[in-house]
Amino acid sequence: MNTTIFLEDHLHGLIETLKLYWKRPPRRQIGAFCYRLDSDGPKVLLITTRNTKRWILPKGWPMSRRSGAQIAEREAFEEAGVIGKANPKPLGRFRSFKGLAKDFRVATEVTVYPILVTGSAEKFPEVGKRQLVWLPLDQAIERCVEPGLRELFHSKEVRELLNS
């Protein structure tokens, strides 16, 4: 067998395998839509990613034996130090990506649970690793660069939640 043909076949097979890998469905993440009802109106929590400093919601990977709402509560506490009870019914979903290493991103679909924040902790696992900000919804929308998150913020479900 000709070595050149063998290598071309081998490379073609490798390329096709890699194409399939990149077409995998998005990996699932759980997000926390943390909000509070201040005297001057509702506020939404945004945090920065650790590396790129994009404004996002607290989010993380699913865990066995924990509901989506429990994971959202845990991520909100670990990443932002907020305490509250998540609604077991998701608020919505959006497409995003997770940067796993330099220039390597994985597509994700984030299921978001609303959390009415009742308190905050001074000490939490990621204290000092992220910036946190509480903003009115319209200002939060302006800070977000992810189209899927912006779309979620514009949704009827978010508007109804904050106006209840």
Q: Calculate mean pLDDT across residues 38-43.
A: 95
Rg (CA), the chain: 20
pLDDT for the residue 17:
64
* pLDDT exceeds cutoff 80 at 25: no
The one-letter amino acid code at 68 reads G
The residue that leads in pLDDT, 19 or 85, is 85
Q: What is the number of alpha carbons within 13 Å of residue 93 lying toward its C-beta?
A: 10
Could you tell me the pTM of the whole model? 0.81
Q: Note whether 72 and 30 are within 8 A (CB).
A: yes
pLDDT for the residue 100:
60
User: Which residues does 157 contact at the CB level (< 8 Å), separation at least 6?
Assistant: 91, 92
Q: Give all domains of the chain, ordered by start, each with its CATH number.
A: 25-163 (3.90.79.10)
